[in-house]
Every structure is written in structure tokens, then in C-alpha cells.
Structure 1
Amino acid sequence: MDDDVFDGNSPQICINRTAYNAKTLDETYPPTPALSIPQQVKSLLKSHCRFDGACIGRFFLARFPIFKWIYSYRLRRYLLGDILSGTTVSMLHLPQGMAYALLALQHPVYGLYTSFLFSFIYPIFGTSRHASLGTFAVVALLTSNAIREIATVATISNSCSMNNFTNISRNSTLAFTPDVLERIAIASTLTFLIGCIFLIFGVLRLGFISNLLSRPFTRAYVAGAGVHVFVAQIDTLFGITICDVIPTIFKVPYQLYFIAEQIVMLRITWLSIVISIISIIVLYIVKFLDDFLQKKKFPFPIPVQLVLIVIFTIASYFAKFEANFGVEIVGYIPRGVPSFMLPNPSYFLPLLDNAIIITVVSYSTGISMIQVLADKHDYKVDANQELFANGMCNFISSFFFSIPGSVSFSRSLIQNGSGGKTQLASIFAGFIILLCLVAIAPLFESLPTPVLASTVVVALHGLYLHVLDLPFYWKISKYDLFIWIVTFLSTVIINVEIGLACGLVVSLIVFVVRTILVSPVLLGNLASSELYVNVKEFEDVTVKSSVKIIRHSSPLYFANASKLKNFIMEQLPNNPSAEVDLGCGPALYRGVQHLRNRKNNKHIQLEQINSFKNSESTTANITTPTTPQDNMFVNKFCVILDCSCIPFIDSVGGTTLCDINSCLTKKDYLFYLTGASRGLREDLIRASGQKWENILECIFPSIQDALSALKQPTKHPLVRITLNPCLIQHALVKHGARESSV
């Protein structure tokens, strides 16, 4: 015998217990009584709605996390980092706020209002220490699509040019033209609806909805939306005007066609192109430089966006870019904070579907970034509270001339990399934005809009890199690759809303197809062990001719229940399905069946001889019920279904199992289930009704228990997995231990 088989340093398993079925197991170990639905609701309300001081205090701190992090704030450790981080992030808020407002078909000042309000509101309700909320490119793009659907034709036509922003009376801070006011009214109403939907989701505790959107889907969708954002900036980069009403379906192809037409006809502004090229080159050079400096642990990024804005604003002011060269500029920017306004109820119903889409996209993309930052710094974020925080940001800001906002990828990474420690960094950023609105914002009236468009293009650099996911998904999962490609192409070619729907539908179809394609497998006993494995994955396995053990590794429901039934029927002895499929006649079928029986009988005899030899050999180191003598079993064919990998069954799956049992019972065969969870067992009992009277006696906690039930009836059947006593003594002597009886 090989001494390595029983190496004293290797752990050994020895199990000796009574065999159970579901009935005897419940009698021996009574389960906890299952609560009815009313009892579950009562218990839930009791655990969450105790109106005592401690419960109310926990609820208050959960809804207003600012009191929690302010109480634990450490001035010496956190204050300097938060001040520097807030100042740095504010340098990004200013150009991105104006640029994303233009993307949303709004005046740039409304983007600053959004960044200002979100920076103050989120720290009160949010749980992330590094998230920077405000304007976001993808949300701004979806907002522009909603405005195009609702606004009048005159408004859309006028939105093609920024020159209308300059035709404004300066007697009032918000005395904009009617089309400007109409678009901000639509955007503010949309923001109000998004806030309400967020709050409803938070009350219902639907934070788990982000888990329903797979990573390939979200990354492909955001990348596709990034293409829309990029194409939407081309006309501003080239200084051309597209006044045709572009359809919402196949928007990108139409836009590219109109832009190409304008370029071919040389209806472009050469100075705008020069400004765009210079801005993009400088932004990319500094971006790569920032990446290099961050690797060298340099804490602060270079505020190149703000520097470009200042330089080109001064140049535009003195050279009169708009009057002399036709370059579009920002135009009049009112001084001060936004005034109060109410949402327009007439827009509620038309904007509802867009509000739901933006809410789902905003939360799913934002929570992923928040979770990444939280994992990096080892703290927890509350997904349900984040719904509430996003809802309050959008809800409150909707009353002050704001557009929908979300978590910004670039600003959040900058806030994290520049030394931010807590939510106080966002508050410092908000104070700087407020200072700009009160005193500095009018100085940017001469800012050329191509600079802002260049800022958007470069800021979306990370979204463009999502295309590099394709090689990864090709290696890991072709299903994820298919989801990525379909979502991306449908988003880019058709539309962002339809792309979202296509991605969700394809993800659902892929999930269903994968559960359908999972086939049941036949299990065999791995030599010298109690383990049962797929016979196709191992060579040295034993399969009893009288016992077929089958494993089903997916939910058992209407889509795959018949597949399991057919597979079990194929394992039955004297199954004529193969010969019938080949078109065999009765005589030929009987001949084939006779040869098969002779082969099976010969195989059984060889198994008996080998089993007898193994029982006399000292190398038989494990005795389990998985390799018993044939004469120890009841002379009946048995099918054992391992249910340990079945998470749930529906009514069709339960009925199918009952039909399989009825079919096998008519043939005088046995049908056992093993490893079924309690919920699965209760669902099956309800589905069986009177069709399976002795169902509890046919359900076993493990395969070994089911095999023990096949032995000749004994008063107390046992499940044994024991070591050979002689080998144990041999191991003890080998290691110098004192021999003892076993």
C-alpha cells in the first residue's frame, strides 16, 4: 500500500450518523416555524417602526448623515485636505457646469446654478465622502433629448445658435428670451420629476435596482451616450449652425450627415476650428501630464480648463471674436443667486418616461462610482440613502432654475485624488461657485463656446476607453460581449432611449437563454471518495446501472422543465428512444435491446467481482454507501435528483417533478430528491397536492442519505464515511504515536 494515501499531515474525514429523509430530519431537528405573510409584515414593521428614542435617533441620523460625519470630524486631519480638494474641484465645476448646460440646450448660467445647489445639498443627505454631484454629460444629453420632444419648433430652431442668448435685456437677472425660459422651465420640471422618482425609490428601499443592470450593459450604454455627446459638440467645434429639426430616431447618422454637408459647403468658422484644436491639444497634453504627476503622488491636478477659459475670454473680449469673426460666445450671464420658481404641471405627463429613464441611468452609473471610491477608502455607503440624497438634490434644486444632475466621474476622481477626506470638500466647492456667481460670473460673457465644447470632448475621455472592454469580454464571456455590442450599437445608431431598452431586453434574453441551455448532468462516484461528479469531467468514476444520480444546476421553471424530464426519461433502463429516433423496426429493436442487456449483465458481474476484490484488499481505505455491494440494495431501479443547485421552482417545475415521479412509480421505479432547501421543498409540496402522497419520504438531505434508503430495510440505517482501522493504526505507529483502539 502507498503510504502517501494516508499521510498523517493530511486532514481526514470520518462521519458516522443516522440516515435521514425530510420527515425524520424534521422530527429530529424541528425547523423554525415559517412566518405567514401578515406575520412577516408585522415583524418587519416592529423591527423598523419602534417609536422609542433610540429608534427615532437612528432614523434621524440615517436620513441626515451630516450630523454623523460632522460629529466625528477631525479638524487637524481633515480640514486642510478638504479645503484644497474643494478648491480644486470648483475649478472643474465652473467650465463643466457651463459646458454641460449648453449640451442640455440651456444657458450656461443654469449649469452653474445646478453645481452650486448640488454641492450644498448632497453633503447633508449623502453617505459618500468623495462623490462630487452636479452637471453630468450623459444626464445633460438625455435632458436635451427630452427638451427636443417637448419644446416648440421655434424653440428648437433657436437653440441651434447661441447668439439668441445675447439678445437679452439687462434690467433683470433672469430676463431671458421666451425660448430660453421655455427650455429652462422644461428642464426644471424634469428635475422635479426626477427628484420625486428618486424619493419614491428611496422610500420603497429600491437601492438594489442598480444590481439588476450588469456591468457590460452600463459601460456599453454610457460609452454609446458618450458618442452622442461627442457628436453633439461637433457643430460648436466647427462653428457651424444646424437649424434643421433633427429626428430623435437615428439621430447620430442624421447629425453627421448635416455636419458633413455644412463642412463640404465650407459653412464653417475657421477661428472656431483653431480655438477648438488648440483647446483639445492643450487639454490632452495637460491630462497626460496630470496622470504622470499623480503616479508621482502629486496631490493637485493642473486647472487647465479654467486657465483656457480665462485666456480665451480675455482674447475674445479685446479682439471681438463674435463681431469680427462670427465666433459664438456665452453672452449675458446674470449676477447673483437664482430666484424661486415652481415646476410647470403641464409638462408632468409628457416628461414622465424621460424622468424614469434619467433616474435609472443616473443612479446606476453614479452608485458604481460611489461604491468604487468607498471600497478604496474602506467605508460603507447606503444605497437606499443615496437614492434619498439624489432625490433631495434634484427636488430642491428644481425650484431654483436648475437642470438634472448626477455624480460626475471626473470630478469625483479629482476630489478623491486631491486630498478630500469628507463631504465638507463639496461644501467648500459650493462656496467658491457661489462667489463666482455673485462677483465673477459676468466676466465670462465673452467666453467662446468652442472652448466649452472642447472641455466636454476631453472630459469624456474615460467613456471612450470603454471600447477597450471588448477584448476582455471576448476572453471571459461571449454573452457579456454580445450584450455590450448590442447595447452600444443600438444606443449609437438608433437613440439613447431605445438603446437603453434594447440593452435591458437583450440582458434579460441572455439570462433566460443561459438558464435554458444549462443541461442536467449524470453524476458518478469518484473513486475512493464520497464525492459525486459529472461523469464527462472525470475518467475514474463509477456509475451504478441500477442507480442514476442527476444534477440540475439552474432554476427549474417553465422554460427548462421539459428538458429535465426528457433527460431523466433517457436514463431509464430499456429506453427505446434512441432506436426509435433511428427508425428501427420492432425486430431490430428487440435485437439491439438483447445485446444491450447482455452487455449490462456482463458489466454488473464485473462490478461484483471488482467489489469483492476491493473488499479484501488493504488499499480500500474508505467505505461509503456510495460504493456498496449490489446485494445490499433494494432490487429496484432508482433515479436520484440532486436539487442542491436549484435555487427555486415555479408551478410548472413542481408539476414536472410530480409527473416524473408518477411515471417512474408506474414502472415500479424509485424517484428521490436530495439537497432541496426548505423553501424549495415547501414549493414542491404545494405544487404536488395529492399527486405525491409520500413526498417527504422521498426527499433527503444528501445523496448519501438517499443511497442509504436503498439498502435492505433496517431499523436504524446509517451513513458511514470511515477510515480503515488498520490504516489508522499504521499511521499512528508511523508518527510515533501511542496505538489506541478505534
Structure 2
Amino acid sequence: MAGALLSSSIGPLPCLAAEHEGEGGWHRGGSCMGRWRGSPPRGSSAGRPHLCSGSAAKSLLFRFLPFLRWMPRYPIKDWLLGDILSGFSVGIMHLPQGIGYWHNSVGPFAVISVMIGSLTESLVPSENFLESVNGSNATVNEELRDAARVELVATITVLTGIFQVALGLLQFGFVVTYLSDPLVRGYTTAASVHVLVSQLKNVFGVSQGENSGPLSLFVTVIDLCKKLPDTNVGTLVTAIIAMVAILIVKELNHKFAAKLPMPIPIELITIIVSTGISYGVNLNDKFGISVVGNIPSGLKPPVVPNFSYFGQVAGNAFAIAVVGYAICISLGKIFALKHGYKVDSNQELIALGLCNFLGGFFQCFAISCSMSRSLVQESTGGNSQVAGVIASLVILVTILKIGELFRDLPKAILSAIIIVNLKGMFKQFSDLSSLWKSNKVDLLVWIVTFIATLLLNLDIGLAASVAFGLLTVIFRTQLPRYSILGRISDTDVYRDVVEYEMAQEVPGVKIFRSSSTIYFANVELYSEALKKKVGEPPASECFLCLLPASNSVVLGQLGTEGRCQPWSNDTRSPSLPQNAEDGPGLSVIELNAGESTAPSEPTLHSLGLPQPTFHTVILDFSPVSFVDTVSIKILKNIFRDFHEIEVDVFIASCSVSVLAQLERGNFFSSAITKHSFFPSVHDAVVHISRERQQASVST
């Protein structure tokens, strides 16, 4: 309930979350967010209220308690009935799923349940609670074991909440951007496989040991296969009948969704019917079908978590905090896009964190979100967090009064409900075909995430998946697409000459573009691709160096770190003489020191050497978002190298931030000035054309 009121998303009407302070005021909504339209108010140099003013305090209060903004404007006639019906539907649906996950995986959310369930099994194993019976056989004291596990779960929940609140207050909501959609979907699909495997023991009615850590999934499957001969036929038949019935009714719900006022609560019906049959026939004693047993009712008094567990579960709690938030915000963005409102990622993080932190003291389970219940809330008319409040009241009544009635519920029924509800998760396998057609790298991220999560378990698998996802970003920036741009006739549009037949190169001008920013990992590739794309002839690849204390010029090729590398015998220009005394591979031209007409800085033209077929290179910097010291150094070399073969270099479409970084990196000098920068490629081309025309007229 608290999470609903603290959540930033309200419903399909975005106007409730926007602020319009008049024509000249501050507009927080749409593309104008954070920008002033008109003059700032007097007394504020930054154009915003003083930090200690009443309006600032009110804004801060509304930011952390969003319901204070929309609750007074709640449209009762339009929304209340839909919220009540939706809340009851979600609450009724939560009952069977909550009971099922509570018993089988410790918690009401499939992915989070497995993450915490595997941790509780490893830190609080059943072997620690064995008690001897009649001096020979030993049984597990389930009451003590479950109490210890609940204590551990509550501790994990509190620590998860601390992480989430801290990240939210530090505005770390952006961390979810590192969890791409293919990564999240591959991860949740693999987690669903873990959930499925964890339920099979209840479907077949066999007892299994508890496994955790890397490869534990496969160990569990192998152990299950070995125990298949011991299958309880009654349990298996019960599970199959329940799964078939639930699947059929769910398909009918989907097919007749437009005609039904609300989905048929088949899970609840199945639980009630199976509990009645189990109680009347006594399935546990006659057929050995395992039942849930005693379900504690009532609210637990608040207790302080066991801080001794903090060191052992810190890493897992952080993973749960990130995964729970990622799933929640991903689903929230889906509905926000559909209904046209905005989700504040940091506020959602704080809301989740407060729910977990406070709930952990009352032995609650870490919260996230459920796809199935969220879809039910939307389809049954839910419009706001009021529906969540109604659902919470239904669950509260269940906890206080109704839970104890389900002690004879077969475990196989709960496992059947869980397995059927995983159907939506397994449909994510269809992503493979669409990703194959659209983006092979995203497909690779999906597959690697899925396999890593299966092999390494959920916590280590998540870390490995994020690392691989970041690695793909590095590879993408290292292997961008390089292109030469041409102008589309009678326009100021420039496109790749290879992809667009209408794009024609500007005579004498090479316009070079990279699809990625340039930094230390790819700037060398950028420089090499530039020289390859502009197609320098062999004679123009040389550069000129004055020998110290002499009047000679050495012709060579560009070497590493801008050093002079003389031409070798096989690459030397045949038209140039070679001085044997200077050694092989060194072409030397003697200059007459007595001639006053000798240039102080020799050029290809003054030496009578062939010149390039182009006179200008334009670097399109529109994709460049930042530069570092290494890329600045290489850019300087590019300017110098082309200057030595009498080719001008200009930079177009450079952002203000990149320009500032270049200035701080001492990029500019007497040889490279800001006059080499233009706001667009077309501006640079127009300038070059005008300069060439003026030069031709003057000559």
C-alpha cells in the first residue's frame, strides 16, 4: 500500500502529473521540461525558487509523496468503480499465487522468489534441523526451519530496501539503463526455468535434496530424473488435471476478454475445489498426496532483523535490489508508453526501498511486480494506486481470517498454478526469431544472459550478463561504420555515397563520418579508416621533414607517434633521387641555401611533386559525444598530416560540450583555430566553395 502511494506513475492521464504555471512560467511536461518559457522570476538568478522557500519545500514534498498532488484531483465518478473492481480482482488473484510461492519458493514473485529461495536453502539448510525419532530415524523440524528462514528473508528484505533507498536518494535510477531489454528478458526467462525445476518435485511427489551455487539447476534435474521411479501417481494426476483446467480457462479468458466483466478467477476456484476434495476424501492419508499443512494467520509483531547475516547476504541483496527494480521499472515503462504518462525512475526506486525496509521489520518479503497481476489490474479497469490499496485490503483480510482454511490444500495444486503462470515468461523465447532479424548483437546478449543464468545461478549469472552487455557496447564503439558523405542535389542533405545513389561527392572535398564517438579505444581505427576512405595516392602519403642543421628535405611516410619513417626501396617514389651516402630507403632533396626564393617551409607544390586529387577533408562530428586526451592527440596528428600534403581539414557539427573538451585539452593552436569549425557540413561546404572561387578569381 505504501509503495502504491509513493509510486510516481498514476494512470492513463498524464495531466495529473504535470505542472503548468502559466504562459511564462516553468513548464514541467513534454519536451520543455526544465526550460524557462519567458523571463525568470525576479530575485532568482537561476530562474527557479530559492532552496529554502515554501514553494521549494512544497515541490520537494510532492516529489517524494506524489499522491498528495493527484489525490485531491482524483476523478471519483470516472475512476473509483474501476479501481474497486480492479483491486478486488488483483487481491483475489494474489491469494493463490501468494500462497503458492510462499510455500514453494518463499515469496510471491517468481524471479525474486528463486533468488531468495536459493539463498535461504544454502544458508539455512534442512540438515541443520534434523531431530531423531525413536532413536533411529531423523525428521526435519519444519517449524524451526521455517522460522529461521523467515528471519533470514526478513533480513535480506531490510538490506534490499536500504540499497534501494540509498540508490534512489543518490539519483541512481539510471543504473537500470545498463540492463537492456534483451538482457532483462533473457534473465527472466532463465529465472522461469529455475522456478519450473523447483516445482517439479511437488508435481511428481518426490523428495529432493537442496542444491545451490553454479550448476545447481542441472544437479537438481539429474537428481529428479533418478527419483522418477518413485513418482506418486496420485500427486502427478492431481497436478496434470489442475494444469489442464487452468490452461483451458485462461485461454477462454483471453478469447472472451472483451465480453467478460472480469477474468474468471480459475486459480482461486481451483484452490477452493481442491481444498474441499482433499479435506473430504483425506487425500494425504489415503493416497500420500502432500498438503500445505498449517498456515500461520495474523500479523507478526515487528522484530529487529538479524544483523549477523548482513555480511553474508550483502551481495545477494544488492542483486535482488537491482533485479527487482529493473523488472518493476521495465513493466512500468510499458504501461507508461501505452497510456501516455511518465515514470520517475528514482521515485520508483525510493518507493520500492521504503516498502522493503519497513516491511522487513514485519517479516515481509521483498517486493517487485507481477506481469500477470499488473495486466489484470489494467484490463479490469484499474486507473490509479487506489486499486492497489483495495487489493492490499483484500490480502490483509486473507492474512487475518482466511489463510488457515487452506491447510488441506495439495502442494501439487500450488505447483500447477505456478507452472501455468510461467507461460507468459516462456513466450519470451519468441524474442530469438525477432532479434535474429533485427539485431544480432542483442540476440547474442539474450542468449549469453540465458545460458549464464542457467549455469551460474541467478546472482552470479546477473553479474556475468551485465559484464557481457557492457562488453558489447565497447565492441560496438570499436567497430563503427565509416562512410564518405555526398550531397543530394539541390539540398543541404548529405548521405553515404554507397547507400544513396542520389548522393554525389562534392568535387575536391572528402566528407568523412564515423557512426560512433571517438575515444582511446577506437581513435587509431578512426585515423586509419579516414586515410583509407579518402583514397590518398602513394605520392600524397609522404610528408616532408627538414633535416636539422642542414638544408635538405626528407620524404617519408607517417610513422607511429608522428615520427619520420623514410620510404623503403620498394615504396620510394621513382621520380625522386636517392643519395647513397644517406643510406638505403632515404630520399633526400638538397635545397639551395643561396636562393632567396626557396620556401622556408617546403611543400609538394614547391618541390614539383604530385598533389592529392582532393583539397579539403571535412570531419562530420555529429555522432561524437565526447573526446579524451588520446583522441585529441590523434586529431592533432590528422590536421598536421593533411596540412603537410596541402589538404585543409575542417570539423563540422561539433557539439558545444565536445568543443569545450577540445579547448581544455589544448587542441587549438596557431595552426588549428576555431575557424576550422562549422555548425553543419553544408556550412563548411559553402565556405570552401566560396574560398575556392575567390582564390580562382584573384589568380
Give the TM-score of the pair, scaled to structure 2: 0.78
| Counterpart Cα distance in 2 of 1:248 and 1:588 | 61
Within the candidate set 374, 395, 398, 1:436 is matched to 398
The aligned counterpart of 2:330 is: 368
Question: Is there any run of 5+ residues in structure 2 with no aligned partner, and where?
Answer: 1-43, 132-138, 543-556, 558-566, 577-611
Within the candidate set 481, 486, 490, 1:519 is matched to 481
The aligned counterpart of 1:218 is: 184
Check if 1:65 corresponds to 2:66.
yes
> Secondary structure of the equivalent of 2:227?
helix
Residue 467 to residue 83, structure 1, CA distance change in 2 (3 Å): same
| Counterpart Cα distance in 1 of 2:216 and 2:305 | 29
Residue 300 to residue 555, structure 1, CA distance change in 2 (3 Å): same
> Secondary structure of the equivalent of 2:361?
coil
| Counterpart Cα distance in 2 of 1:284 and 1:49 | 59
The aligned counterpart of 2:122 is: 149
| Counterpart Cα distance in 2 of 1:309 and 1:153 | 28
Residue 498 to residue 635, structure 1, CA distance change in 2 (3 Å): closer
- Percent identity between matched residues is 31
The aligned counterpart of 1:343 is: 305
The aligned counterpart of 1:227 is: 193
1:277 Cα shift? 0.5
Residues 130, 140 of structure 2: 8 Å contact kept: no
1:529 Cα shift? 4.1
Within the candidate set 250, 271, 294, 1:309 is matched to 271
| Counterpart Cα distance in 2 of 1:228 and 1:96 | 17
The aligned counterpart of 1:597 is: none
The aligned counterpart of 1:699 is: 677
The aligned counterpart of 1:270 is: 233
| Counterpart Cα distance in 2 of 1:672 and 1:157 | 78
The aligned counterpart of 1:93 is: 94
The aligned counterpart of 1:255 is: 220
| Counterpart Cα distance in 2 of 1:156 and 1:589 | 85
Moved more, 646-655 or 387-396: 646-655
Moved more, 67-76 or 567-576: 567-576
1:49 Cα shift? 6.6
The aligned counterpart of 1:52 is: 53
Larger RCO, structure (CA 8 Å, separation 6 or more):
1
1:70 Cα shift? 2.6
Check if 1:395 corresponds to 2:357.
yes
| Counterpart Cα distance in 1 of 2:368 and 2:637 | 53
1:74 Cα shift? 3.1
The aligned counterpart of 1:356 is: 318
Q: Deviations over 1:681-709 (max 9, x none)?
A: 11112223576653212222233443455
Residues 103, 292 of structure 2: 8 Å contact kept: no
What's the Cα RMSD here?
3.1
| Counterpart Cα distance in 2 of 1:352 and 1:46 | 43
Q: Deviations over 1:494-532 (max 9, x none)?
A: 322232123212221222222222132222333444433
The aligned counterpart of 2:289 is: 327
Residue 592 to residue 298, structure 1, CA distance change in 2 (3 Å): farther
| Counterpart Cα distance in 2 of 1:48 and 1:414 | 42
Residue 689 to residue 282, structure 1, CA distance change in 2 (3 Å): same
1:162-311 equivalences under 5 Å are 177-243=143-209, 245-263=210-228, 266-294=229-257, 296-311=258-273
> Secondary structure of the equivalent of 1:186?
helix
Give the TM-score of the pair, scaled to structure 1: 0.74
| Counterpart Cα distance in 1 of 2:670 and 2:618 | 16
> Secondary structure of the equivalent of 2:403?
helix
1:151 Cα shift? 2.1
1:394 Cα shift? 0.8
| Counterpart Cα distance in 2 of 1:210 and 1:537 | 35
1:576 Cα shift? 6.2
1:472-551 equivalences under 5 Å are 472-539=434-501, 541-543=503-505, 546-551=508-513
Residues 655, 688 of structure 1: 8 Å contact kept: no
Residues 151, 306 of structure 2: 8 Å contact kept: yes
1:385 Cα shift? 1.2
The aligned counterpart of 1:669 is: 647
Residues 178, 466 of structure 2: 8 Å contact kept: no
Check if 1:561 corresponds to 2:530.
no
| Counterpart Cα distance in 2 of 1:541 and 1:395 | 60
Residue 388 to residue 658, structure 1, CA distance change in 2 (3 Å): same
Question: Is there any run of 5+ residues in structure 1 with no aligned partner, and where?
Answer: 1-42, 112-134, 159-165, 169-175, 594-633, 718-742
| Counterpart Cα distance in 2 of 1:380 and 1:539 | 42
1:573 Cα shift? 4.0
Within the candidate set 645, 648, 660, 2:638 is matched to 660
Paired AA for residue 253 in structure 1: F
Check if 1:418 corresponds to 2:391.
no
The aligned counterpart of 1:449 is: 411
Residue 212 to residue 592, structure 1, CA distance change in 2 (3 Å): farther
| Counterpart Cα distance in 2 of 1:303 and 1:205 | 40
> More helix by proportion, 1 or 2?
1
The aligned counterpart of 2:110 is: 137
Residues 148, 156 of structure 1: 8 Å contact kept: no
Residues 685, 695 of structure 1: 8 Å contact kept: no
Residue 643 to residue 316, structure 1, CA distance change in 2 (3 Å): same
Residues 338, 400 of structure 1: 8 Å contact kept: yes
| Counterpart Cα distance in 1 of 2:295 and 2:58 | 44
| Counterpart Cα distance in 1 of 2:233 and 2:45 | 67
Residue 697 to residue 377, structure 1, CA distance change in 2 (3 Å): closer
Residue 188 to residue 547, structure 1, CA distance change in 2 (3 Å): same
| Counterpart Cα distance in 2 of 1:363 and 1:412 | 15
| Counterpart Cα distance in 2 of 1:341 and 1:256 | 38
| Counterpart Cα distance in 1 of 2:251 and 2:575 | 74
Q: Deviations over 1:299-320 (max 9, x none)?
A: 3011111111111112222222
| Counterpart Cα distance in 1 of 2:236 and 2:394 | 32
Q: Aligned pair count?
A: 587
| Counterpart Cα distance in 1 of 2:186 and 2:79 | 37
| Counterpart Cα distance in 1 of 2:369 and 2:489 | 56
Residue 563 to residue 236, structure 1, CA distance change in 2 (3 Å): same
Residues 272, 327 of structure 1: 8 Å contact kept: yes
1:416 Cα shift? 1.1
